[in-house]
Amino acid sequence: MSYTVTFEDKPGYLHARVTGSNSRENVLAYLGDVYRACVARDAGVVLIEEYLLGPSIPLSSVFQVIDARVPNALHAIRKIAYVDTNPEHDLTRMEFAEDVAVNRGLNMRLFPTVAEAERWLRDDG
């Protein structure tokens, strides 16, 4: 797999930074890494900052990834902020991912910047 994920413990949340190649397999794998890091650190709040190279994955793959990862996340993560920093990616696919996750009960939001995501994560409301 051609991706790297690093973790930084921040006050009140875990910051995961992901770089590498964009593929269904890499997204599935790094989301598994994020889940395991949250469980190991007892971190129920996470910011995922993603910069993956290559075109956006197909909508069917987006659905499959979210469908596969949400069940575990529901038990361990109470809030996810997501920022895709690659401007070449199709924002509508990320909005679809957010809709699918939210419809399955996950408290996830997509943000255009890390600063906006951090503000939401720190909000107790």
67-115 pLDDT tens trace: 999 999 998 999 999 999 999 999 999 999 999 999 999 999 999 999 9
Q: Look up the pTM and report it.
A: 0.94
Q: Is 61 helix (H, G, I), strand (E, B) or coil?
A: helix
How buried is residue 39: exposed, middle or buried, by Cβ count under 10 Å (0-12/13-18/19+)? middle
User: Domain range spanning residue 94?
Assistant: 3-122
In the predicted structure, residue 1 carries a pLDDT above the cut 90: no
- Residue 124 binned pLDDT confidence (cut-offs 50, 70, 90): low
Query: In CATH, what number is assigned to the domain containing residue 23?
Result: 3.30.750.24
How many domains in the chain?
A: 1
Tell me what the pLDDT averaged over the chain comes to. Answer: 94
Measure the N-to-C terminal CA separation of the chain; round to a whole number of Å.
38
